[in-house]
Amino acid sequence: MKNAECFSLVSNPENSINTNENYWECEECSINNEESIKRCQNCGKSRYGISLISADKIDNEKEYDQTLLSKLFDLVSSTNVMPTSDIIQIMTKQDLESLTEQDQQSFIETHFSYDQTKLLTESDVIVYISDVPTNIDHDDAHLANLIHMHLQKTFQIMPSNIQCYSSLRAGFMRVRNNKIKDRLVKDIKTIVLDLSENPSLISFNDTFEFTSYIVIDKTNENKDVDLPKFDEILKRWIKIYNGEKPYSCEQINIRMSSLKINECSICENELNETDDLVTTNCNHKFHCRCAQDRLDKKNRTDCHFCHQDSALGNALALKNLAKKGECSICESEWNWKHDIVITNCNHTFHRRCAQDRFDRRGRTDCHFCHQDSDLKIILSQNTTTTINEPTEQNSNRINPDKNVLSTARTENTIEKKENNWQCDECSGTNEPSTKRCVCCGTPRFVLPSIPAVLSQRQDDATTKEYNQVTSSNRRPKNDKNKPLDLRIQGKNPDKNMRFLANVFICLSIFIIFISFYCTFRSNFVASISKDFKKDIS
């Protein structure tokens, strides 16, 4: 009888909730809401408590009806049972607590599955979920149920629909109005999901940016494939996914960490960390020797994988530039004063490093590009300046060719040093065959200009004559009474004589010109006066 009275009080809406005709007052914040609204617009609290269900939803939830009725019939006497419609319409908090945890989860999953299948109203708004955990043992539907239960128990928020995509680490849910959305995005922001292994933090956002990549692999280089344009991709995207126009659709060059390529697309062999690799700016890796062979044989500088222009050529140039001035065997710097060897592929090494590599490993290929027998030829020719005498202990050491001129032989070292020439600029020693200094690049023979040569010759001649004159006019040391002849002043007396001669010539020309002018003037005046006299007479 006591239970019957309790349900009779709860069944009466007028006693539990204060209503004013078409409005009802929220027990949490005392805000009046319209009769048709089932949750408070201010705080989001349900009208009838934590888990009150409206009659129109209950009609479509048969499983929930059976579970709830079985629990209610245990609480109420069979003689005082009220009509089913009145009992199901309102449910007290004590009755909800009497349900087991398994029944609550069964109800939530059933209720949530119904909310996913029902038609969404126009008033529903979308809230995006980011940082969705991926390391879970269950599927996306179970993850959505966990989020739904957490929001309902902690914040009394009942989402209409939740979709999770753990592979994309994203999801979305629909709520009834913008106030609930603002509460999730601005106030709650994040929640912690208690998973079996470790807790995960997810976030609620107003917007969500998603970038999609399309990787096109052109297996045949010689075959031109007509790729779709950006506008065509946009139209196709909108048509298939029934979505809005993306912010951008363009061809990009980006390092995609998710795109893992473990083989060289040129030779189709596996890439290892110990291999000599070259990486393009489009994040594609190749064997350096494969890329160099492709460049030498086919003159192709584009990326072999995505065909970006000059990508592979630029990568090889940067790699060679990084290795310039450094021996790739010992990874130490070298200069032109060191004993070095230069291969036909323009790679430079210390001679001792190349020789030790051949002695220990028997490797004769280029250490940088692995060209076969390149170092063997260079070591046999001894093309560099100073090389130590080879020891007889190593049987694999390459003996230089006797017909090739060698500057590395001990017996020829002194002879070669005598014929070497020294640079005037940096004092570096160079071979007789070189025309420029290998240290500073200064030419061995600098050709002076013609005026400089003539001036030098003239200065030499005048200096010689001056020395002869001064030596003839110099008074002996012991002859003090002999008068000293007048010496020609100046270092170059011929210059003074030439100057005087030039002045004399100029004066002579001027005098001749004046005489001609005077003669012409006198004759002209005489002729004019003669004609004038004739006219008068």
User: Where are the chain's structural domains?
Assistant: 1-92, 119-210, 230-323, 326-410, 412-446
CA 190 – CA 197 distance, rounded (Å): 19
DSSP-assigned beta bridge partners for residue 23: 20, 34
Above pLDDT 90, what percent of the chain? 5
Q: Categorize the per-residue pLDDT at 127 as very low, low, confident or very high, splitting at 50, 70 and 90.
A: very high
Range 466-477 burial, b when 16+ CB lie within 10 A, else e: beeeeeeeeeee
Question: Three-state DSSP class for 444?
Answer: coil
Q: Categorize the per-residue pLDDT at 6 as very low, low, confident or very high, splitting at 50, 70 and 90.
A: very low
Q: Considering the chain, what is the average pLDDT of its residues? A: 65
Mean pLDDT of 450-455: 50
Mean pLDDT of 71-77: 44
For the domain made up of 119-210, the CATH class stated in words is: alpha beta
From first CA to last CA, the distance across the chain in angstroms is 178
Whether 358 shows a pLDDT value over 50: the answer reads: yes
SS3 content of the chain, % helix, strand, coil (to 5): 40, 10, 50
CA 21 – CA 1 distance, rounded (Å): 32
CA 128 – CA 499 distance, rounded (Å): 101
Mean pLDDT of 453-474: 57
Q: Take residue 251 and report the two structure tokens written for it.
A: 């061809």
- CATH 3.30.40.10 describes domain 230-323: yes
Question: Three-state DSSP class for 238?
Answer: helix
| pLDDT confidence of residue 386 | 37
CA 298 – CA 484 distance, rounded (Å): 88
Above pLDDT 70, what percent of the chain? 49
Query: In this structure, what are the phi and psi dihedrals at residue 340, rounded to the nearest 5 degrees?
Result: -125, 165
Q: Looking at this protein, which amino acid is placed at residue 486?
A: L
| pLDDT confidence of residue 184 | 92
CB atoms under 10 Å from CB of 526, counted, come to 10
Query: In this structure, what are the phi and psi dihedrals at residue 258, rounded to the nearest 5 degrees?
Result: -75, -15
Mean pLDDT of 200-206: 87
CA 355 – CA 391 distance, rounded (Å): 11
CA 86 – CA 411 distance, rounded (Å): 120
CATH fold for the domain made of 326-410: Herpes Virus-1 (3.30.40)
Mean pLDDT of 34-50: 70
Question: Three-state DSSP class for 431?
Answer: coil
Q: Take residue 57 and report the two structure tokens written for it.
A: 């939803």
Range 363-383 burial, b when 16+ CB lie within 10 A, else e: ebbbbbbbbeebbeebbeebb
Does residue 250 contact residue 230 with C-beta atoms inside 8 Å? yes
Residue 165: how many CA atoms within 13 Å on its side-chain side?
9
Q: Categorize the per-residue pLDDT at 182 as very low, low, confident or very high, splitting at 50, 70 and 90.
A: very high
DSSP state at residue 128: E
Q: Take residue 487 and report the two structure tokens written for it.
A: 């010496």
Gyration radius from the chain CA atoms: 52
Does residue 129 contact residue 172 with C-beta atoms inside 8 Å? yes
Going from the C-alpha of 63 to that of each of 197, 295, 326, the distances in angstroms are: 31, 72, 78
Q: Within its chain, how far is the Cα of 467 from the centroid?
A: 74
Range with the poorest average pLDDT among 156-165, 227-236, 369-378: 369-378
Whether 399 shows a pLDDT value over 70: the answer reads: no
Mean pLDDT of 417-437: 73
Mean pLDDT of 283-312: 83
Length of the chain: 537
CA 97 – CA 63 distance, rounded (Å): 19
Pairing, β 23-25 against β 19-20: antiparallel
Does residue 369 contact residue 292 with C-beta atoms inside 8 Å? yes
Predicted TM-score of the model (pTM):
0.27
CA 88 – CA 102 distance, rounded (Å): 20
Q: Looking at this protein, which amino acid is placed at residue 499?
A: F
Bigger pLDDT: 257 vs 358: 358
Same fold, 230-323 and 326-410: yes
| pLDDT confidence of residue 100 | 44
Q: Take residue 521 and report the two structure tokens written for it.
A: 């003037």
CA 88 – CA 423 distance, rounded (Å): 109
CA 241 – CA 268 distance, rounded (Å): 37
Does residue 485 contact residue 476 with C-beta atoms inside 8 Å? no
Q: Categorize the per-residue pLDDT at 407 as very low, low, confident or very high, splitting at 50, 70 and 90.
A: very low
Q: Give alpha helix (H) positions in 347-412.
A: 351-361, 374-381
Does residue 281 contact residue 310 with C-beta atoms inside 8 Å? no
Torsion over CA: 26, 27, 29, 30 (sign): positive
Tally helices (H) and strands (E) across the chain. Answer: 17, 16
Q: Categorize the per-residue pLDDT at 490 as very low, low, confident or very high, splitting at 50, 70 and 90.
A: very low
Q: In sequence order, what are the residues at sequence separation of 6 or more whose Cβ sits closer than 8 angstroms to the Cβ of residue 216?
A: 227
Longest CA–CA separation in the chain, Å: 180
Mean pLDDT of 159-167: 88
